[in-house]
């Protein structure tokens, strides 16, 4: 913000991807004689459609990706008690915050440049007897799954949790990411591959996890389970309570609205087409950027590209400042440090918890923190702009 007005960019991080056809669906619903607005049939319809698109057995829609994270970590607490959870320092704050809220201990491992996700060798160094899960973030549309990662989790009998908030439709071995872990979380925030304004999804193939999520989404109410066996269990154990008001968990209200569900169903129809367009843009960028100055050996197979990453090969503060000045002068919006503003270990909320963080143990994210950016990638981005961007950067 400058002078109280938002800067207008020629190339913003994101353009509005809610189209007239989406709003028409909302208006049609609002014109019904007595339209239901809080979460109900439209949310359930979207959950079912999402299951089919992702190839997941169960999905629970919530009011944000951050809420999906919070519920997931509360479920892990119910299963194992407070545990150590391995997380990357390149992620969104809500991933790490969800661990802290649930009472878990975040344990950090470095990332790999090729996919900007957790590095398997770094993970193995920090596994202990208290480690119960690896919370993997699929960054900027890249796939973070590798055969070594799956083998590691299986060998140590550690649950894999997937944050897919930035990587809708990315794949590994032709299967969508979000189907490899015990639980996966998605976000439908404005800037992501599809949007429900605000919204998120918890996905799993476990009936147990599904029932946990349904109840925890709605204050921990037992009545939100759709299994009679669970309801009867609590009714028989607590006969003094009104069956409609038995709270199994100390949970919050994280429900979405029917408007969120309607938008999800409408936007899902275009998602595969939009992913294809984003991926084409990403490949054009990777093939055009100067590979001597900028990292370009990303694991592009299976990418769904959320944004275009610019990563300097060498540490050069003068060139870094020239890059930022060039982007600003050409009206190109950017974010330094990639997802979440770079290395979360440098953030004040973590420094309050960890007094002596040795940043030298995290050389890859440390480089990314200071010498990388992302710029927007969206379906209607003209390929000519990508060539112009690469030309500007390559000439520096």
Report the length, in residues, of the chain. 396
Task: Confirm if 232 and 200 have CB atoms less than 8 A apart.
Answer: no
Region 156-180: mean pLDDT is: 98
pLDDT for residue 185: 98
**Residues linked to residue 162 through DSSP beta bridges, in sequence order:** 136, 184
Domain residue limits, the chain? 20-262, 271-394
Question: Residue 71 and residue 159: Cα distance in Å, rounded?
Answer: 16
Q: To the nearest whole percent, how much of the chain has pLDDT over 70? A: 98
Cα dihedral: 87, 90, 93, 95 (round 10): -30
Region 66-82: mean pLDDT is: 97
CA 222 vs. chain centroid, Å, equals 28
Question: Residue 297 and residue 311: Cα distance in Å, rounded?
Answer: 11
Assess if CATH 3.40.630.10 describes domain 20-262.
Answer: no
pLDDT for residue 4: 47
CA atoms within 13 A on the CB side of 42: 23
pLDDT for residue 381: 94
pLDDT confidence of 1, banded at 50, 70, 90? very low
Task: Confirm if 73 and 346 have CB atoms less than 8 A apart.
Answer: no
**Comparing 20-262 with 271-394, is the CATH topology the same?**
no
pLDDT digit string, tens, across residues 19-30: 999 999 999 999
pLDDT for residue 8: 77
pLDDT for residue 224: 98
Q: Is 274 strand, coil or helix?
A: helix
Does the pLDDT value for residue 3 go beyond 60? no
Question: Residue 233 and residue 229: Cα distance in Å, rounded?
Answer: 6
- For the chain, give the mean pLDDT: 96
Encoded tokens for 57: 């057995």
User: What residues contact 135, with CB distance under 8 A and at least 6 apart?
Assistant: 85, 86, 87, 88, 95, 99, 161, 163
Which ranges constitute the DSSP H helices of the chain?
20-30, 41-54, 65-80, 93-102, 120-126, 147-156, 207-217, 228-237, 258-288, 317-329, 348-351, 363-371, 383-394
The model carries a pTM of 0.96
Region 47-69: mean pLDDT is: 98
CATH number of 271-394: 3.90.1150.10
Among 5-9, 37-41, 83-87, 233-237, the minimum mean pLDDT is found in 5-9
Does the pLDDT value for residue 117 go beyond 60? yes
User: What residues contact 236, with CB distance under 8 A and at least 6 apart?
Assistant: none
pLDDT for residue 7: 65
pLDDT for residue 124: 98
Does the pLDDT value for residue 2 go beyond 50? no
Task: Confirm if 190 and 72 have CB atoms less than 8 A apart.
Answer: no
pLDDT digit string, tens, across residues 297-349: 999 999 999 999 999 999 999 999 999 999 999 999 999 999 999 999 999 99
Encoded tokens for 256: 């979405």
Bridge-based pairing of strands 159-163 and 171-172 is unpaired
CA atoms within 13 A on the CB side of 156: 22
């Amino acid at each position: 913000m400058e002078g109280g007005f938002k800067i207008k960019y020629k190339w913003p991080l994101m353009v509005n991807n809610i189209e007239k056809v989406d709003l028409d669906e909302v208006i049609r619903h609002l014109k019904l004689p007595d339209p239901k607005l809080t979460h109900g049939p439209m949310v359930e319809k979207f959950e079912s459609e999402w299951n089919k698109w992702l190839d997941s057995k169960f999905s629970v829609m919530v009011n944000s990706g951050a809420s999906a994270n919070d519920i997931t970590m509360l479920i892990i607490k119910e299963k194992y008690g407070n545990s150590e959870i391995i997380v990357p320092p390149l992620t969104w704050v809500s991933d790490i915050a969800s661990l802290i809220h649930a009472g878990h201990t975040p344990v950090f491992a470095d990332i790999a440049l090729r996919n900007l996700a957790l590095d398997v060798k770094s993970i193995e160094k920090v596994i202990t007897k208290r480690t119960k899960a690896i919370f993997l973030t699929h960054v900027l549309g890249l796939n973070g799954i590798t055969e070594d990662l799956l083998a590691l989790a299986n060998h140590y009998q550690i649950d894999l949790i997937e944050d897919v908030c930035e990587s809708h439709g990315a794949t590994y071995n032709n299967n969508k990411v979000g189907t490899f872990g015990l639980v996966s979380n998605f976000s439908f925030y404005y800037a992501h591959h599809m949007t429900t304004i605000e919204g998120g999804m918890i996905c799993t193939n476990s009936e147990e996890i599904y029932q946990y999520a349904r109840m925890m989404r709605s204050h921990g109410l037992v009545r939100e389970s759709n299994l009679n066996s669970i309801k009867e269990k609590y009714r028989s154990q607590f006969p003094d309570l009104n069956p409609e008001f038995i709270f199994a968990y100390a949970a919050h209200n994280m429900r979405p609205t029917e408007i969120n569900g309607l938008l999800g169903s409408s936007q899902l129809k275009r998602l595969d087409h939009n992913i294809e367009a984003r991926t084409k843009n990403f490949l054009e960028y990777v093939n055009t950027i100067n590979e001597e100055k900028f990292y370009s050996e990303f694991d592009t197979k299976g990418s769904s590209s959320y944004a275009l990453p610019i990563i300097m090969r060498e540490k050069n503060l003068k060139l870094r400042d020239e890059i930022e000045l060039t982007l600003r002068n050409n009206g190109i919006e950017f974010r330094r440090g990639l997802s979440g503003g770079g290395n979360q270990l440098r953030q004040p909320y973590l420094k309050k918890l960890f007094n002596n963080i040795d940043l030298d143990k995290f050389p890859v994210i440390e480089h990314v923190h200071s010498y990388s950016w992302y710029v927007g990638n969206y379906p209607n981005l003209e390929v000519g702009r990508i060539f112009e961007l690469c030309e500007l950067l390559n000439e520096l």
